[in-house]
Structure formats: structure tokens, C-alpha cells
Amino acid sequence: MSAAVSALVMCVLAVLMAPRPPALGPQRTGDAALARDVLRAAGEDGYQGLSVALLENGRIRYAGLGTADGSRPADERTAYEIGSITKTMTGMLLADLAEDGLSPDTPVGDLLPRAGLSTPATLAELASHRSGLPRLPVSGRLLAGALLGPYTGADPYGGAGPGEVLAGAAAAKAGPRGTVAYSNLGMSLLGLALAERFGTTYADLLRTRLLTPLGMTSTVALGPRDALPARHATGRSQNGLTMDFWRSHGYAPAGGGVWSTAEDLAKLVGAVMNGSAPGAGAATPRWDEDDRRRVGYGWFTTRYDTRTITWHNGGTGGFTSFAGYDPATRRGVVVLSSTAKPVDAVGLRLLGVPTPGDGNTLTPQGIVMLIVTFGGLGLLVAAARGRVRDRLSIAGRTLSGMFLLLLARNGGPWEVVPPFVWLAGAGVLAAAVALAVLRWPALPLTRGHPWWRWASAALPAALLLALALAMAG
């Protein structure tokens, strides 16, 4: 009886905890024709909520598909983390300040004399990813965040402030200047340097020089204690894990903790297209990255056969974004999503640029997670053959199987592989536990090396607890 109860409890828990990749619900807001176009461009799978703005013929249309947070319909005023689209605004700040006399050729160290920077990079080089600075500084916390974030949902930047960014920039080993190499660190350093030049914060500089003149009242760079925007969306990974919001205000110039809406970003794209935005010249392509793509201050320009698109995208733990326009047709688009599935192809298709399918494929990491899903198989075989040695061995293997299942649930490829595969792995563990429980009364607590048996149970218990606590907050 106890074996059957154990298996039943585990199966019920597995069904309740099974991965649920997001999919667009039936909710629609705004322009119905545009919503149909968005659905054709995006498909239903992989997105929880989409807010879209399309600018053409001097008119802006909006459409919302799905939900912002699982219940409230998405619309043009839903707030999303916009990630690296913020880099275009940082570039526009430089272009705007250059019109007031700040030379883009100023070495960044001149604006941050107390930061101990060794890089001779100029403001223009930072704005165009040509500074030689790495994508991110070498940091144990950043590395751990990048490795663990997909499994725990945590902010990989850990709320890093300006001081940490400046320290990372001072310690960073720069490569050769002049070659385009994408750098969050470089763009963050640029924004902090511009703010320092005017004795203010990046958030205040952005608001006074760009957001307020454009009437972008729903766009904000959050400080460490600022409340989340009203009507904000909830971000999820591609396999449905709820992701933490990013609070890394030191990286705000590169997109950390910056929120906006489709309505606000449509104002930005429209004003850049017609040249009326402060620093609109930032979108002008100045340097080659390769034979198809050029870069200005923050903005990229890419050639697609006979079409040329000026654009930037963004991505945080649970959000993706795209803003771009065709200078020839003066058609622009904004696409914001509350899941980690990229929306670049959606934006390009709405601009009339044919793109291949999204191409979700099974990665090596995904294959590893599929193997991990069946971590209970060893206990099942051992229990079926009567080879479990003691109760601590059963406890350790059960806890290990539970940890691996939770790890696979959070980081597995369930946007590609049907989630019932995870349920099959949970079923294997449940069957293993049921067989092991049948053997339990006849087994000693431990045999062999007691300290090793206790450790083999304590370690997976600690890992399981740590993962659960990290997910909880």
C-alpha cells in the first residue's frame, strides 16, 4: 500500500509541476487586421503575450495578442522589459549631446577620471561597439548568474549598480579597437560617463534629454528600489518558467531594468524615422560590421537583398523585443513579447522582409537535459534487480532524481520536445520509488561507509533545497 501511495503522490506532483511552454491565447486588442498579420508572422507557440505597433502612411496601428500576465490581455500600454533596445537611446543621447558641443571623440576616461579606466576608447567607439571592451566583465557572480539563471529564473546581473560596472570596466582586458564587437559593458560605460558629465544619473539624463521631449511617459529605467511599472507583463522562459525581473541599474544604458510599451516605442521609432527625435542622427550608419550590416550610435542597419532595415532588438530573462524601420518605405514596427522566444523574425515579416522559420532546434544543452530527465532510471533498475543496499541509498537516489527532474523541468527543451517526455521521466522515478519502498522494510539504515552514505543523501537534498529556494525568490 505504501508503495502505491508513494507512486501516486509523485505522479500527482509531476502532473502539477510539468513544464507548460507558453502559447498565445485567444485574447485580442487593438486593430483586428494587424492582429491577424501578427499571428501569421508569429504563430501561436512560444509566446504568452505580444504587443505590436505598426507605423505606415503617417498612421500608427496597435495590436495585442495573448495575455500580459496569464490573465490580463496585452495591449499597446502593457509594459515590458525592453532590454537592448535601450542601447539605441543611449546612442541617441550621445548624438544629442554632440550637437551641444560634446565631442564623440572624447576619451571616456576624461569623463570618468576617478574610475581608474585603462581603456583609451572614445565615446563614439563605445556607442558603436568598437571600443575593444568585452561583452561583459569577467566576474564570478556574472558567470554563475549566466549558468544558473536559465534553471532558477534569477536575474544573472544580480542587481549590479554603477560602481560594479565601473569596477568591471577598470579591470577588463580590452581587445583591439575599431572592430565591431557587441559589448554590454561598453554601452553601459558610455551611459554612465554621459550621466557623470552632467552630474546626474543615467535615468534622469534619459528622461530629460529624450523621453520627456518625445512624450514617452511610460518608459523608465528603474532604480534598485523603484516599483515596477503599472500594467507590467510577467516574463517567462521559452519552456514556461517564470523569470525574475532584471534590476541591474548599473547596466541600464545597455538595457538592464528598462521598461517601455509599444505605444511609447512607436513614438521613438516614428521620431527617428522623420528626424525629429533628439539625437536622431544616431541611426545613421557610420561603420561596417560586415558586408551586410553597419552600425551607427547604438542602431544597426542591415541589408536584406534590395531592402535595408534600421533596427535593434532586445532580450532579458523573460522578455524579447524588436524595433526597426525601413528608411525607403518609412514603415516602422515595434514588437514586444513577455517570453524569451525571439521576435526579430516577427518584426521583419511585418516590415515585408521574408525570413526563414524560427528554427527551434534541439541543442546540445537540450539533449543533456533530456538525458537528465530520466535520472531515476538507475534507481528503477537497481530496485527491480534487488540491488539497493540500504535505506540511505534509496533516499539519496530519490532526492537526486527529484533534483534532476526539477533541473530538467526548468532548463529542458520543452519548446521543441513535447512536455509529456518530462512526465515520462517523472513516471520512471515514481516507479523506481514504488519498487524501492517495497524493499525498504528489509534494508538496514546504512552499510559500508556510513559517512559516505549520509553524504550521498545530504548532497542531493541540499541541491534540491537550494534550487527550490532560488526559484522561490
Nearest to 401 by CA among 369, 435, 374, 371: 374
Amino acid 2: pLDDT: 59
70 is a domain residue: no
Do 397 and 375 contact (CB within 8 A), yes or no? no
Pairing mode of beta strands 300-304, 293-295:
antiparallel
**Do 405 and 346 fall within a single domain?**
no
CB 134 within 8 A of CB 185: yes
pLDDT at 1 over 60: no
Is residue 99 domain-resident? Answer: yes
pLDDT higher at 362 or 249 = 249
For the cut 60, the answer to whether the pLDDT of residue 123 exceeds it is yes
Among the three residues 350, 379, 395, which one is the final residue of a domain in this structure? 350
pLDDT in tens, 63-118: 999 999 888 999 999 999 999 999 999 999 999 999 999 999 999 999 999 999 98
Q: The domain spanning residue 241 has which CATH number? A: 3.40.710.10
- Please give the pLDDT value at position 357: 64
Please state at what angle helix 162-171 crosses helix 184-197, rounded to 10 degrees: 120
Is 194 contained in some domain? yes
Domain boundary among 289, 320, 350: 350
Range 305-309 contact pairs with CB under 8 angstroms and sequence separation of 24 or more: 307/351, 307/352, 307/353, 309/348, 309/351, 309/353
Give the model's pLDDT for residue 5.
63
Cα separation of 168 and 137, whole Å? 5
pLDDT band at 228 (very low <50, low <70, confident <90, very high): very high
Q: Which of 42-51, 130-139, 228-237, 438-447 has the lowest mean pLDDT?
A: 438-447
What b/e string do you get for 208-246 counting C-beta neighbours within 10 Å, with b at 16 or more?
Answer: ebbbeebebebbbbbeeeeebbeebbbbbbbbbbebbbb
71 occurs within a structural domain: no
Phi, psi angles (nearest 5°) of residue 158: 60, 30
Determine the average pLDDT of the residues in 247-260.
Answer: 96
Q: Which pLDDT score, from 0 to 100, does residue 359 have?
A: 58
What is the rounded CA–CA span in Å between residue 317 and residue 339? 8
Compute how many other C-beta atoms are within 10 angstroms of the C-beta atom of residue 1: 6
Q: Would the CA dihedral through 168, 169, 171, 173 be positive or negative?
A: positive
* Domain annotation covers residue 41: no
Say yes or no: 311 and 372 in one domain: no
Res. 232 pLDDT band, cuts 50 70 90: very high
Q: Distance between CA atoms of 381 and 200, rounded to whole angstroms?
A: 64
Q: Say yes or no: 312 and 279 in one domain.
A: yes
Q: Are residues 190 and 251 both part of a single domain?
A: yes
375/302 same-domain check: no
Q: What is the pLDDT of residue 358?
A: 59
Tell me the pLDDT of the chain averaged across its residues. 91
Residue 220 above 70 pLDDT?
yes
Q: What is the pLDDT of residues 393-432, one digit of tens each?
A: 888 999 999 999 988 888 888 888 888 898 899 889 988 8
Same domain, 339 and 390: no
Same domain, 344 and 366: no
pLDDT at 171: 92
Task: Note if the pTM is more than 0.75.
Answer: yes
Average pLDDT over residues 55-59: 93
Q: Check if the beta carbon of residue 408 is closer than 8 Å to that of residue 367.
A: no
Predicted confidence at residue 6, as pLDDT, reads 59
pLDDT at site 80: 98
Whole-number Å distance between alpha carbons of 30 and 267? 17
Number of domains observed in the structure of the chain: 2
The CA distance from 294 to 307, in Å, is: 14
Q: Specify if 35 maps to a domain.
A: no
Same domain, 379 and 332: no
Note whether 379 and 235 are same-domain residues: no
- Domain shared by 387 and 302, yes or no: no
Look at residue 345 and tell me whether its pLDDT is greater than 60.
yes
Closest CA to 328 of 266, 273, 272: 273
Range of the domain at 434: 2-21+362-472
Last residue of a domain, one of 350, 385, 417: 350
Q: Is 282 domain-assigned?
A: yes
Residue 323 sits in the same domain as residue 367: no
State residue 338's pLDDT score. Answer: 97
In a domain, 55, yes or no: no
Asked whether residue 146 falls in the same domain as residue 207, the answer is yes
